[in-house]
Amino acid sequence: MNSGLCVVAGLSYGGGEMKPLARDELVYGFTPEPGLVALEHAPGADADAMTLFIRKDGKLSTRSEPFAPFLWLTKAEWLAGFEPAAEIVRLAGNNPFRFLARFATWADLERALGHLRKSTNKTLSHPAAPYFVIRDPVQQFLLATGRTSFRDLLLPDLEFLYLDIETDCSEGHEFSNPDRAEDRILAIAMADGRGWELVLDGRELDEKELLKKFVETVRKRDPDIVAGHNVFRFDLPYLATRARRHKVPLKLGRDAQLPDVRSSRFTAAERAVAYSRFHLHGRHVVDTYLLALAYDVSHRAMEGHGLKSVARHFGVAAPERTYLEGREIARAFRENHDAFLRYATDDIRETAAITPILLAASYAQSQLLPLPLETVCVRGNAGKIEGLLLREYLRVEHSLPAPDPSRSFEGGYTKMFVEGLARDVHHCDVRSLYPSLLLLGGKNPRHDSLGVFLQLLAHLRDFRVEAKKRAQEPGMPPAAAGRWEALQTTFKILINSFYGYLGFAQARFNDYDLAAAITEQGRDLLRGMVDKLRELGAQPIEMDTDGIYYTPPSGLDEAGLAKFQADFRAHLPQGIEVEFDGRYPAMFSYKMKNYALLEDDGTVIIKGAALKSRGFEPFLRDFLREWLTLTLHGRAAEIPAMVARRRHDIVARNLPVTALAKTENLTDSLAAYQRKRAAGGKSRQAAYEVALASGRAYQAGDAVSYYVTGTKKNVPVHAHARLTADFDPNQRDENVAFYLAKLDALAQKLDAHAPETAITDDHPTLF
């Protein structure tokens, strides 16, 4: 051991001094702290602390606790010569990261990272870096102390402030930009979800006074959570930019702290969103737009992710709500101010209505994860599972593994057996297929020396079963039932992510061999399920990883259907459970993971990117929905007339230009686009070409809406695109042939999947 390094021996799991935890403590943390609503790092000159914000009986209090930051090392010698010396603990076990270094302050830890970069010749992000650290002091504190947030608190116990702003848009532009002097804030709407509402009106206050009043209101209301729809990409950056213009300090945090802002990226399946992450001292900021994206990954049923679409999806849009589009908002501010105020009020009411729905799962997760709520909302499930594993390994001072190098393996069983229209469609779902196989096999990841992985999985599964039962208990008060439902949903999400964690490249306890073996077992089981359905006289339509859409044998009454389900269940291995969780009058199967369902009340649910393509112009999305609705309702004979009507509307130039226009965001400045074009690294793009031709000062981040002119259907779009703002309704110049061709192409593509031409997988047609 190098001179000057003091290494303290660690403790072994099960060695008498550190006992395994009961399941409540393993899942919910081992230090109960009722009412913890927020934590903030308090750096010190000689020692750091953590400020705890506690809510009890509706009142907020704070207290301070010591905090010693830490990192993991493969060898203590990597810190030789570093001053001030860290306390280094030798961890139990033989995993590579067997030393824990503790520091007096976060500043010391940051200096130590600089030392380690030099002593190891590896950056922290290097796959072979022999040191590992969590760069969030709040997460470190939660891990080390075993605390979690909001224990014994329900969502209604917290203080919310919902936020939505309305902005001006200068002439010649389609969308507001806070860097343009004239694009001022017209209104700031706020609510608390309990009846208090306030719209700060730009007609009564100039923008500087508007911003001052907003800051004053937030400070006075003192919310635990500030929530809004798209607040990270629009409202908060807009407010911050305009506040800088007017030199108004945006002191929105507790203790009059300014926002902490950093660039971040959120990923939900194939969708990646860059945004500015705002943190307000002592509070949590929640963006329901990002929550809606995450929600739709599993549900795939939302028509869009804007506030209005989300509110309609959840059935909370007021029947008489006021709708204004684009530039109509600024126009209404000047010409129909009452409508403008109604619109702003309706927006904030919808924000307050959708937030508890979308936030419920993340809130429940924050009660068991060593992460603050606003991080839970944007963190991937693999990171959440790793947090639970790290908490226990840190508690018993056990060494950590290094992630296995990434490699590919065969995925789950997905297949479409039938295209087109089917009637009387049922859905069965294997309850937590991969987690069930993991538990049946009884194998932990090979580097999980303590066997925590399966303990957590089993506990969460049992918790989910209990929570689901409690949510459905007769006489359960709605608030309590909602809490249990949120818990069971949370447990389901985490349970189903344990398998994915095994194959995640950055997961410290990943195990590709185990993941591949479980996937193979799953494929074999699902193929057997498909064979059994056919044996019982049913027709599979689509298999998607762990669920099957199918039509049961014809002529079954309810008793016969119950027997069919019992016979199907009987062939499954012990420990594998199937839920028959859906029944639909009709289904239109377009392609794998892209289909539409008809519900009993006539509602049409559309799932899949191909059927909800945001690359479609609005008139094509409307056409697609009407085509699917007619098909599912058995009115396919009306489709030719519907197509003819829509073709006539294009030829007669009856459609508003907004129905024909595409809207795209400029990710580069116009100058950067031109440089890339000159260097040969970028093809011509319509949005940029339109912006350049306009002569207006478009900036990166601006949205450009354009339509296509000309007379021929095959035209280069970039050369025939024109700003929607420049459209003259008295001299219409949209390219009729171009838009007719787009409509006809989509109609022909759908006709290829029409009932009478459905493709089957060598099995009898359903039609």
Q: Do 567 and 541 belong to one domain?
A: yes
Q: Do 743 and 662 belong to one domain?
A: yes
SS (H, E, C) 178-233: CCCCCCCEEEEEEECCCCCEEEEECCCCCHHHHHHHHHHHHHHHCCCEEEECCHHH
Distance between CA 687 and CA 490 in Å, rounded? 41
Q: Do 532 and 658 belong to one domain?
A: no
Please list the ranges in the chain whose pLDDT falls under 70: 1-20, 270, 299-300, 479, 614, 701, 754-767
pLDDT at residue number 332 = 95
* DSSP classification of residue 124: T
Q: Do 501 and 648 belong to one domain?
A: no
The answer to whether the CB of 497 falls within 8 A of the CB of 388 is no
Cα 105 to Cα 371, 439, 440, 606: the distances in Å are 20, 42, 45, 53
Query: With left for phi above 0 and alpha for psi between -120 and 50, is residue 325 left, alpha or beta?
Result: beta
What is the CATH number for 29? 3.30.342
Report how many helices (DSSP H) and strands (DSSP E) the chain contains, helices first.
23, 25
Distance between CA 738 and CA 714 in Å, rounded? 7
In the numeric block, the tokens 């479609």 are attached to 616
Distance between CA 656 and CA 649 in Å, rounded? 10
Tokens of 600: 């009993």
Tokens of 144: 């080390």
pLDDT at residue number 365 = 92
CB neighbourhood size of 559 (10 A): 8
Distance between CA 87 and CA 210 in Å, rounded? 51
Q: Is the residue at 765 inside a domain? A: no
pLDDT at residue number 487 = 75
Tokens of 56: 């009890």
CB neighbourhood size of 317 (10 A): 20
Q: Is the residue at 760 inside a domain? A: no
pLDDT at residue number 156 = 92
Question: Which is it for the CA torsion 550, 555, 558, 562, positive or negative?
Answer: negative
Amino acid at 435: P
* Three-class secondary structure of residue 25 per DSSP: helix
Distance between CA 228 and CA 280 in Å, rounded? 14
pLDDT at residue number 1 = 37
Q: Do 571 and 645 belong to one domain?
A: no
Domain residue limits at 88: 7-149+383-392
In the numeric block, the tokens 């305009």 are attached to 242
Tokens of 579: 């839920």
Q: Is the residue at 109 inside a domain? A: yes
What is the CATH number for 344? 3.30.420.10
Looking at the structure of the chain, the number of domains it has is 4
Q: Do 285 and 178 belong to one domain?
A: yes
Candidates 487, 518, 489, 486; CA nearest to 501 is 518
Beta bridge partners of 427: 549, 582
Distance between CA 457 and CA 441 in Å, rounded? 13
CB neighbourhood size of 635 (10 A): 11
Candidates 373, 371, 363; CA nearest to 156 is 363
Q: Is the residue at 764 inside a domain? A: no
Q: Say if strands 87-90 and 7-9 run parallel, antiparallel, or are unpaired.
A: parallel
* Three-class secondary structure of residue 2 per DSSP: coil
Pick the last residue of a domain from 561, 586, 611: 611
* Three-class secondary structure of residue 266 per DSSP: strand
481, with CB counted inside 10 A (0-12, 13-18, 19+), is middle
DSSP letters along 409-448, please? -----EEE-B-EEEEEEEEEEETTHHHHHHHHHT---TT-
DSSP H or E segment with residue 130: none
Cβ neighbors of 654 (< 8 A, separation 6 or more) are: 648
Q: Is the residue at 285 inside a domain? A: yes
CB neighbourhood size of 73 (10 A): 24
Q: Is the residue at 729 inside a domain? A: yes
Q: Do 483 and 511 belong to one domain?
A: yes
Q: Is the residue at 357 inside a domain? A: yes
The answer to whether the CB of 227 falls within 8 A of the CB of 355 is yes
Q: Do 485 and 625 belong to one domain?
A: no
Q: Do 159 and 73 belong to one domain?
A: no
Cα 747 to Cα 220, 650, 659: the distances in Å are 56, 15, 17
Q: Do 597 and 486 belong to one domain?
A: yes
Q: Is the residue at 286 inside a domain? A: yes
Q: Do 415 and 564 belong to one domain?
A: yes
Amino acid at 258: L
Candidates 110, 73, 66, 104; CA nearest to 87 is 104
What is the CATH number for 622? 1.10.132.60
Candidates 283, 209, 248, 230; CA nearest to 53 is 283
Pick the last residue of a domain from 611, 626, 661: 611
Tokens of 707: 């339509």
Q: Do 628 and 530 belong to one domain?
A: no
What is the CATH number for 513? 3.90.1600.10
Tokens of 87: 């306390």
CB neighbourhood size of 747 (10 A): 19
Q: Put the strands of the sheet holding 185-191 in their side by side order.
A: 197-201, 185-191, 160-167, 225-228, 284-287
